[in-house]
Amino acid sequence: MLNISPNTIHQKVEFSRFNSFNKTNLSPANRMFTRWLVGTLTLIVILLLLPWTQNIQSKGKVTTLQPGQRPQTIQSTIAGRIENWYVREGQLVRKGDTIVHLSEIKAEYFDPNLVSRTEQQVEAKEGAITSYDSKVDALEGQIAAMNSELEFKQKQLANKILQAEFKLASSQADMEQAYYQDSVAVVQYNRTEQLFNQGIKSRADVEEKRIKMQEARAKYASSQNKVEEVRNELANARLELSTVRYEYTQKVAKAESDKFSTLSSKYDAEGSVNKLRIEASNYEQRSQFYYIVAPQDCYITKAIKPGLGETVKEGEGIVTIMPADYDLAVELYIKAMDLPLVSLGQEVRFIFDGWPAFIFSGWPGQSFGTYSGSVVAIDNMISANGEYRILVGPRDKSKPWPEALRVGSGAQGIALLNNVPLWYEIWRKLNGFPPDYYDDDTEEAPKMKAPVKAIK
């Protein structure tokens, strides 16, 4: 029966006596399936309502926080030949311990006394500089002496000119006196001759006057010559004054030229000395590069050039080391779409290779075998693989990372984000949406003041 009517016959008819009723009744398995289906749907709904922690998953590797704590290669500063090894691979060495000894292979550095010989060259050049200084001092003294001599000569010639002028004036006076005497003698001779013609004077008187006239003329001519001679002496003295100034100017100029040439040679010698000092210092520093020492406490990991007698070039790697003291970190790469969701100090969970773990990415509290860390650095430039690198260090007050963990081992990171319902996370995944981004910046918007006077 379909039990449509409210009047039932269950109490009046025995259904077990009729085969038709047995065939139309629902089986117990059908009722059990219905209950299982309803229970399953209820469980699914409950699961969809459970909280889910959004996360960003990425694979990375273990590294160190400080760049100086990461594996590194020690290069040879100079080109050389390996003479002796003082360590073996895997050995712990302290800072300053000798690792390998190199010998020289360049011909210009073969001399074992190269540094001392270069220092001798420096001393020789310094002696030349001292000689140049002495020569400069001598030239300066010579210039000062010539200037003094020039001043003395000028004064001497000025006195000579003054004497010549006085002598010229005296000679001119003598010439004028001789001229007057000559004129008087001529007049006396003419008068005596007239008196002789008149018979008043004798011939002896005439001859005497003629002799006196000739003497006066000779004396006048002599005074004229003496005046010209004094004039020539005065002109020569004045010319000598001009000549001596030019002559001493040339001498001073030549001495100054020698002085500046000496100074130029001195400066060249000083440049050579500085260059030789640099070379001597370089040679001394180069001799210290024959022994390669450990830059810090470290382990020798691999000898790149192991053979004795092998040559290495400048800057070529010779051995790789791993620092003994380091702070572990994990570098992860995230997509550009997830970069705004990561911030400094954000918690990240790790699964290290070699350490078993049982995880639920959406329920970090129910995971086992994971380790916690905090974001300490985020690159501002995209990497070659098209993703951004983040550096994660150990988190304070959390389970310490394994002591046996080594640099270079693999790690899988899970950056924890916001808590959302599970159904929302499934819906987000199906639509390809990024995780939710929430900014904790709660700054209030600035309050705007109304203007004092409104503009109409």
* pLDDT of res. 299: 92
Spatial distance between the Cα atoms of 52 and 33, rounded to a whole number of angstroms: 30
Q: Which of 185, 161, 176 is nearest to 226 (CA)?
A: 176
* pLDDT of res. 251: 85
Q: What is the mean pLDDT of the chain?
A: 80
Q: Which of 179, 209, 178 is nearest to 191 (CA)?
A: 209
Distance, CA of 63 to chain centre: 30
**Which tokens belong to 12?**
């009046």
Spatial distance between the Cα atoms of 156 and 162, rounded to a whole number of angstroms: 10
Spatial distance between the Cα atoms of 72 and 324, rounded to a whole number of angstroms: 12
3: left (phi over 0), alpha (psi -120 to 50) or beta: left
**What superfamily in CATH does domain 114-287 come from?**
Methyl-accepting chemotaxis protein (1.10.287.950)
Mean local confidence (pLDDT), 411-428: 74
pLDDT band at 203 (very low <50, low <70, confident <90, very high): confident
pLDDT band at 102 (very low <50, low <70, confident <90, very high): very high
Looking at domain 71-97+294-323, its CATH architecture is Beta Barrel (2.40)
pLDDT of 1 higher than 50: no
Question: Is 79 in a helix, a strand, or coil?
Answer: coil
| Domain edges within the chain | 1-48, 51-67+326-431, 71-97+294-323, 114-287
Spatial distance between the Cα atoms of 394 and 376, rounded to a whole number of angstroms: 9
HEC string of 328-341 equals EEEEEEECHHHHHH
Spatial distance between the Cα atoms of 208 and 138, rounded to a whole number of angstroms: 72
In 213-315, the DSSP E strands lie at 291-293, 298-303, 311-312
Burial (CB count within 10 angstroms: exposed 0-12, middle 13-18, buried 19+), residue 46: exposed
Torsions phi, psi for 15 (to 5 deg)? -70, -25
Q: Which of 9, 64, 12 is nearest to 392 (CA)?
A: 64
pLDDT tens by residue, 335-355: 887 787 788 888 888 888 877
CA distance readout (Å), 315 to 75, 89, 257: 5, 21, 50
Spatial distance between the Cα atoms of 233 and 226, rounded to a whole number of angstroms: 10
| Pairing mode, strands 347-352 and 72-75 | unpaired
* pLDDT of res. 443: 45
In the chain, the amino acid numbered 435 is P
In 342-433, the DSSP E strands lie at 347-352, 371-378, 388-394, 410-421
Give the residue carrying structure tokens 């000779």.
Answer: 218
Share of the chain above pLDDT 90, in %: 10
Indicate if 71-97+294-323 has the same CATH topology as 51-67+326-431. no
Q: Are 125 and 269 in contact (CB under 8 A)?
A: yes
Residues 6+ apart with CB under 8 A from 126: 273
Spatial distance between the Cα atoms of 352 and 62, rounded to a whole number of angstroms: 9
DSSP at 74: E
pLDDT tens by residue, 255-303: 888 888 888 888 888 888 888 888 888 888 888 889 999 999 999 999 9
* pLDDT of res. 14: 62
In the chain, the amino acid numbered 230 is V
Share of the chain above pLDDT 70, in %: 82
What sign has the CA pseudo-torsion 411, 416, 422, 428?
negative
pLDDT of 311 higher than 50: yes
Residues 6+ apart with CB under 8 A from 446: none
Q: Which residues pair with 328 in a beta bridge?
A: 64
Give the residue carrying structure tokens 């078993």.
Answer: 356
Between 94 and 54, whose confidence is greater? 94
- In the Cβ-directed half-sphere of 394, how many Cα atoms lie within 13 Å? 13
**What superfamily in CATH does domain 51-67+326-431 come from?**
Efflux pump adaptor protein, beta barrel domain (2.40.30.170)
Give the residue carrying structure tokens 């003698």.
Answer: 185
Q: Which residues pair with 69 in a beta bridge?
A: none
Helix (H) or strand (E) holding 236: helix 203-288
Q: Which of 304, 286, 281 is nearest to 80 (CA)?
A: 286
pLDDT tens by residue, 220-247: 888 888 888 888 888 888 888 788 888 8
Give the residue carrying structure tokens 């995944």.
Answer: 429
Question: Is 53 in a helix, a strand, or coil?
Answer: strand
Q: Could you give the dihedral angle defined by the CA atoms of residues 280, 285, 289 and 294, in that order, rounded to the nearest 10 degrees?
A: 170
Spatial distance between the Cα atoms of 234 and 206, rounded to a whole number of angstroms: 42
Spatial distance between the Cα atoms of 147 and 150, rounded to a whole number of angstroms: 5
pLDDT tens by residue, 360-404: 555 555 555 678 888 999 988 888 888 899 999 988 888 888 888
